[in-house]
Amino acid sequence: MLMQNKHVYVAIFMLASVGFNVCANEQQTVIDCEHNELLALGQPGHHLSQPLHYDGHMRPKVTNQAIAAVRFQRQLLDHINDVCNAALADDQTAYMYMLQTYLPLRARYVSSIYFATGSAQSSDLNIAVIRQQVGQSDSGSTQLLIVGSADNVGEEQSNQSLSLARARFLASKVNSDGYKSVLVPLSGKKQAGRLRGNQPKYRRADLYLINVEYQPGKTGSG
């Protein structure tokens, strides 16, 4: 139940200094592993102001979905070191276990796509499989968590940008129904915990489906 004296504050950081073109209708959040922040790409949604138990003051109408989305962001920030651990992300089963256990979230690893050296474009056949899996999910309660990765070849900043571009590429290919996406760009070095090599397995993007309305111990969460 929402209490009248409770307010929900969402901090939105606009990604102004990174060289990516962003469409206004995109609903993407980027985890900045370097500065431990969440950065919003695109235009934030507008809140519909309506009276709640009208007493002369206007208050924003807050939906369960909005509350779940804010809680999801809080969980990501609280465990950002784990979410940004590239060594952990290299084992998708272990990464999914971390999401399910530490945060905890109802998370499911779907699949990965792979890229050529220095490229953020891919014709990987898994794109169609991932698109189908995403389309079968409830867009109201599901968000996409996409982890972009790079090998250790090249400059750190270039790898970070390439990882983000790969995550955004996968999002653009599989997300046609307006799902909110959280992108986690990982480089080949700084967040790895160990140095990655230049093998093809590091040049990829992984997609996880997250049920943001799921709460452990709550009935009826599905």
Q: Is the pLDDT of residue 22 over 70?
A: no
Strand pairing report for 180-185 and 28-32: parallel
Task: Give the CATH number, domain containing residue 181.
Answer: 3.30.1330.60
Q: Which amino acid is at 153?
A: V
- Which residues 6+ apart lie within 8 Å of 168 measured at CB? 20, 28, 120, 148, 183
Q: Are 200 and 114 in contact (CB under 8 A)?
A: yes
Residues 148-182: b if buried by 16+ CB within 10 A, e if exposed: bbbbbebeeeebbbbbbbbbbbbbebbbeeebbbb
So what's the pLDDT on residue 56?
A: 52
| Structural domain contains residue 220 | no
| Structural domain contains residue 43 | yes
Q: How many domains, in total, are found in the chain?
A: 1
| Structural domain contains residue 1 | no
| Structural domain contains residue 10 | no
| Structural domain contains residue 206 | yes
| Structural domain contains residue 181 | yes
Instruction: Please give the angle made by the CA atoms of 99, 132 and 69, to the nearest 5 degrees.
Output: 40
Residue 102: domain span: 28-211
- Measure Cα distances from 176 to 100, 130, 209 in Å: 26, 12, 15
Q: Are 44 and 202 in contact (CB under 8 A)?
A: no
Measured in whole angstroms, how far is the alpha carbon of residue 219 from the centre of its chain? 25
pLDDT in tens, 37-58: 999 875 443 332 333 344 455 5
pLDDT in tens, 170-188: 999 998 778 899 999 997 5
Length of the chain: 222
pLDDT in tens, 74-121: 999 999 999 999 889 999 999 999 999 999 899 999 999 999 999 999
What is the rounded average pLDDT for all residues in the chain? 77
- Tell me the residue ranges of DSSP E strands in 51-202: 59-60, 106-114, 142-148, 180-185
Q: Are 67 and 8 in contact (CB under 8 A)?
A: yes
- Categorize the per-residue pLDDT at 192 as very low, low, confident or very high, splitting at 50, 70 and 90: very low
Mean pLDDT value of segment 123-130? 93
Which percentage of the chain shows pLDDT scores above 90? Answer: 45
Q: Is the pLDDT of residue 3 over 70?
A: no
| Structural domain contains residue 144 | yes
What dihedral do alpha carbons 115, 119, 123, 125 form, nearest 10°? 20
- Categorize the per-residue pLDDT at 27 as very low, low, confident or very high, splitting at 50, 70 and 90: confident
